[in-house]
């Protein structure tokens, strides 16, 4: 009987330990959630759809760009303005900036995609930005495009981009970044 009591006591103690272990919460660090945004004192806000976008210019063979001045296909992109209030202003314009090509300052200089397996950056090629009338946009950050008349609500500002050669192009990545600022009148 004593042996049975000792065995039962041991079993109860072990079971209690298991029950206790199952009900004790385990807490570990799971990570971080970053929240980003801002309030702007502006008559419109740039849509998150277009404030940080990627324009895919495509892949070309180097024999397409055999000399200076050869153009790639035009690829449209847009900047969407939301929640515009025309009682405050009636027009919007954009100024672009970026690292200029050493040969042609109207072009964005291209870089290598560091996550790419390619062996370098293409040469003798740049990227030009065109406004909605197909005029080349200056990339100095202070020359604004023609003003677009705003309507209340959503507005779409249309642009395009394309490769342009500055000589006989060589193979490699051909990526660039352009920043933009808005001007409202």
Rounded CA separation 108/140 (Å):
11
Question: What was the pLDDT predicted at 16?
Answer: 53
Beta strands in the chain (DSSP E): 45-46, 75-84, 91-97, 108-109, 123-130, 148-149, 153-170, 179-184
- Tell how many helices (H) and how many strands (E) occur in the chain: 2, 8
Give, in order, the Cα–Cα distances in Å from 161 to each of 30, 54, 55, 108, 114.
Answer: 41, 11, 8, 10, 22
Beta strands in 39-152 (DSSP E): 45-46, 75-84, 91-97, 108-109, 123-130, 148-149
- pTM (predicted TM-score): 0.78
pLDDT digits (tens, 9 = 90+) for 128-154: 999 999 999 999 999 999 999 999 999
Nearest C-alpha neighbor of 95 from the set 132, 143, 53 = 143
Q: Could you give all domains of the chain from N- to C-terminal order, each with its CATH number?
A: 45-184 (2.60.40.1090)
Question: What was the pLDDT predicted at 29?
Answer: 82
SS3 of 34, please?
A: coil
pLDDT digits (tens, 9 = 90+) for 43-99: 999 999 999 999 999 999 999 999 999 999 999 999 999 999 999 999 999 999 999
């Amino acid at each position: 009987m004593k042996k049975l009591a000792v065995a039962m006591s041991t079993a109860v103690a072990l079971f209690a330990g298991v029950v206790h272990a199952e009900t004790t919460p385990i807490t570990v660090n799971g990570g971080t959630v970053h929240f980003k945004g801002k309030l702007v004192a502006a008559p419109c806000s740039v849509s998150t759809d277009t404030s940080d976008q990627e324009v895919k210019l495509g892949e070309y063979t180097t024999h397409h760009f055999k000399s200076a001045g050869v153009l790639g296909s035009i690829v449209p992109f847009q900047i969407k303005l939301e929640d515009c209030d025309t009682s405050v202003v009636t027009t919007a314009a954009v100024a672009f900036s970026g690292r200029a090509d050493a040969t042609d300052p109207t072009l964005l200089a291209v870089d290598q995609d560091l996550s790419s397996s390619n062996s370098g950056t293409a040469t003798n090629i740049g990227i030009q930005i065109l406004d909605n009338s197909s005029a080349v946009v200056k990339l100095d950050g202070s020359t604004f495009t023609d003003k677009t008349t705003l309507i209340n609500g959503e507005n779409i500002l249309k642009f395009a981009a394309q490769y342009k050669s500055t000589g006989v192009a060589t193979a490699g990545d051909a990526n660039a970044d352009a920043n933009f600022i808005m001007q409202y009148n």
